[in-house]
Amino acid sequence: MTNSFSAFQQKLTDIAQLESAIALLNWDKDVLMPPKGSGPRAAMLSYLAGELHDKVVSPEFRGLLGEAKAAADAGRLAPGERAIVREVWRDVSREEKLPLEFVKELAQVTSEAYHVWMDARAKKDFDLFAPHLAKIVALKRREAQLVGFQGSPYDALLDTFEPYATAPEIAGALGDLKNFLVPFIVKIRNAKAKVSRDVVAGDFDIEKQKAFCARAAKQIGYDFGAGRLDVSAHPFSTSFHPLDSRITTRYSRSEFMESISGVIHETGHALYEQGLPAAHFGTPLAEAVSLGIHESQSRLWENMVGKSRPFWIYFYPLLQREFPAALQNVSLDTFYRSINTVEPSFIRVESDEVTYNLHIILRFEIEKALIEDNLEVEELPVVWNSKMKELLQLDVPDDSLGVLQDVHWSGGMIGYFPTYSLGNLYSAQFFAAAKRDIPTLDEQMARGEFGALLKWLREKIHVHGKFYSAQELAKNATGEALNSKHFAAYITAKYSEIYEL
């Protein structure tokens, strides 16, 4: 390692320290901060964001990055160092293509659009939001032009969230998925088996829920010595370092599966963060590959593990012991089927794992068409509603239950949605490979043992940070590129049994 590369790494670590401090201030804001602290906290965060920006654009940092790039190009660096340079260079190059004027305009337009979206959703009036969304789409098209792309301009936007992925790849995977899901959901709808969420109902003490959630998180491998579980308005996970990666959830006295599933989901994210190599803190080698891979970890634990029969063979007796009034007369089988009820919903975030991806496919098709200039913003409600009919056989009653339900577009986050489905597809692909490599995984889970699975994920995914791209990582871990057939096979097997198809 050259002196200048070491100086470059030091700068990266400095930047990461500031980013972690900001993340902690945000965590505190969302979890603990007294309400009157919000104004001062916003000022503090704004100041630190400016400091961070100054560091990243400083001539000193750019100079060191340039030297590191030259060293990498001349073959003078080790593979890990080359990966660091590749990823930092990639981020910085993208940023450099966006003039300050453009960045400021986008920030202003989205800040305004966010408030208008809140209002429009409350009033169920898409027309209020439409001109703002049109501005955002125009700016994001311009962003794609500024950044540059080879195939679709959508690629240039996707790239921020899912590096190296392309629209055709995703269109292919999601197209296959759609072809599988739409008829499969019709089969479920017509199934004779009775499955309903309502069989499990009661009043679930919050303190007992907390203890159960913490127990579950710990048992699947979350290290409370390097993390915390707290309460916030919306569940999230955040990480300041692999040795301090925290999760939050919320509790409802009636909807106890919301907190359990939520905690297992966030634990999945946090297990990834806790598994990143601390020795490389500050560099891309200690960063998650992509949003899709991150989501694959949360969804694997939430659904493939946390809604599986083996998981509940172990945990259900414990749950029954905590909540005898509600659960003593509910069999494991009834409980398992209940928490896996498939029920098309207007709302993405309330959807089960079968119908969920159709919500994403709908959004992906729409936002891709918007960016490729094949769709006008004004047409959105009509297109949205007709797609909901086509995919889920639902008639959207108003736009608050339709095109206005998600915050993403108001914030300029176009290209984000597909990462949710990539997460689902990767999760099934990883889980299938893990099951192949650990033949007794089901038996282990039924005994409450998750160590072998976590070890597999650590070795195949977590420990590599951003050394590989998502595609390379999937090939190394599973022997093949992204393939939606694993998700289809998982869904088919699980729900054919539940719905007796």
Active site positions, annotated = 266
Instruction: Give one DSSP letter per residue of 349-378, joined into a string.
Output: GG--TTTHHHHHHHHHHHHHHHHTT-S-GG
Q: Among the residues of 190-308, which ranges form H helices?
A: 206-220, 256-275, 291-299
Of the candidate residues 281, 316, 430, 487, the single one contacting a copy of itself (CB under 8 A): 281
Which residue, 26 or 496, is less far from a copy of itself as judged by CB?
26
Of the candidate residues 48, 332, 369, 463, the single one contacting a copy of itself (CB under 8 A): 48
Stretch that binds a copy of itself, among 47-55, 149-157, 174-182, 294-302 (CB under 8 A): 47-55
Stretch that binds a copy of itself, among 45-53, 76-84, 107-115, 314-322 (CB under 8 A): 45-53
DSSP structure class, residue 414: -
Find how far residue 60's CA is from the centre of its chain. 34
Whether the Cβ atoms of residue 30 and residue 236 lie closer than 8 Å to each other: yes
Of the candidate residues 4, 26, 30, 44, the single one contacting a copy of itself (CB under 8 A): 44
Considering the rule CB under 8 A, would residue 59 count as an interface residue with a copy of itself? no
Angle at 155 between CA 151 and CA 157, to 5 degrees: 145
Helix, coil or strand: residue 248: strand
Closest CB 286 distance from a copy of itself, rounded Å: 11
Q: Which of residues 9-38 bind a copy of itself (CB under 8 A)?
A: 13-14, 17-18, 20-21, 24-25, 28, 32-37
| Nearest alpha-carbon partner for 318 in 442, 451, 215 | 215
Considering the rule CB under 8 A, would residue 207 count as an interface residue with a copy of itself? no
Closest CB 42 distance from a copy of itself, rounded Å: 11
| Nearest alpha-carbon partner for 465 in 297, 273, 236, 299 | 273
**Token reading at 60:** 């000193």
| Nearest alpha-carbon partner for 63 in 125, 7, 13 | 7
Which residue, 25 or 394, is less far from a copy of itself as judged by CB?
25
DSSP structure class, residue 282: T
Q: Residue 230: beta bridge partners?
A: 248
Which residue, 64 or 130, is less far from a copy of itself as judged by CB?
64
Closest CB 226 distance from a copy of itself, rounded Å: 4
**Token reading at 266:** 């966030």
Helix, coil or strand: residue 273: helix
Closest CB 65 distance from a copy of itself, rounded Å: 19
- Half-sphere exposure for 184 (CA within 13 Å, toward CB): 23
Q: Which of residues 222-241 bind a copy of itself (CB under 8 A)?
A: 223-228, 240-241
Interface size with a copy of itself, residues (CB under 8 A) = 36
Amino acid at position 94, single letter = R
Which residue, 36 or 194, is less far from a copy of itself as judged by CB?
36
HEC secondary structure over 21-68: HHHHHHHHHHHCCCHHHHHHHHHHHHHHHHHHHHHHHCHHHHHHHHHH
Closest CB 218 distance from a copy of itself, rounded Å: 13
Closest CB 104 distance from a copy of itself, rounded Å: 20
Q: Which residue ranges make up the site for a copy of itself (CB under 8 A)?
A: 13-14, 17-18, 20-21, 24-25, 28, 32-37, 39-41, 43-44, 47-48, 51, 223-228, 240-241, 243-244, 246, 278, 281
